[in-house]
Structure 1
Amino acid sequence: MIDDKRIEAAQAAVNKCRERDNEIVKPNDKMPWKREVVRQLKPGDKGYLPPVTDFVTLEFHNGFVVVPAEYFNKLSKAKKKKLMKF
C-alpha cells in the first residue's frame, strides 16, 4: 500500500509545476542561470493552466504514478490498457 502523504505530495508537485508553467519569465542578462518572473498568467488568459483537483493514481509493484484525470481520459484505450497492465 502507498502512504496517503506520498500521494498528496505528488499531487502538490503536479500543481506546483502548473503554477510554474503559468509564469512569464525573461532571461537575466547578468546571471544566465537565473530567471526573472515578469508576471503570472491569470484565469481567462490564453495558456493558463488551472490547478488540478481530480487525479488518477496508478499503483505498481515498485511505486505509483499520479496523473491528472483530464490527461488520463484523453489517452487512447490502448495506452490506458498498457498503463493498467503493469
Structure 2
Amino acid sequence: MHEQFASYYDPGTSTLELRGTFDQDAWAHVPEELDRAFRRTACQLTVDLTRADGVPVDQVGRLVHLCSCNYPGTIVRAAAQRRAG
C-alpha cells in the first residue's frame, strides 16, 4: 500500500518535504505548495523528494526547471533510483 501524497514545510530548515505517491492530482498541487513555501522562507528553500514514491525522472526535471525559473536559490533533493539488472 502506498502512502498518500502529502507536503510539509519545516520553517527551521526552510525545507518543503513532498512525500507519498505522486499521481497527476498530486503534481497539480506542487506549484501551489512551492509558492506557499517560498513565500515563507527568507533564505534558501530546499524541496525534499527523498520520501516520495513513483516520481518519474522527467517530472523531477520539470520540478527543477520550475524552481530554477520561479524560485531562485531553491535546491531539489531526490533519492537516487535503483535499476534492476
TM-score range, shorter chain: under 0.3
Larger Rg, first or second structure (1 or 2): 1
Asked which structure has the greater RCO (Cα within 8 Å, sep 6+), the reply is 2
**TM score, norm. by length of structure 1:** 0.26
**Superposition TM-score, scaled by structure 2 size:** 0.27
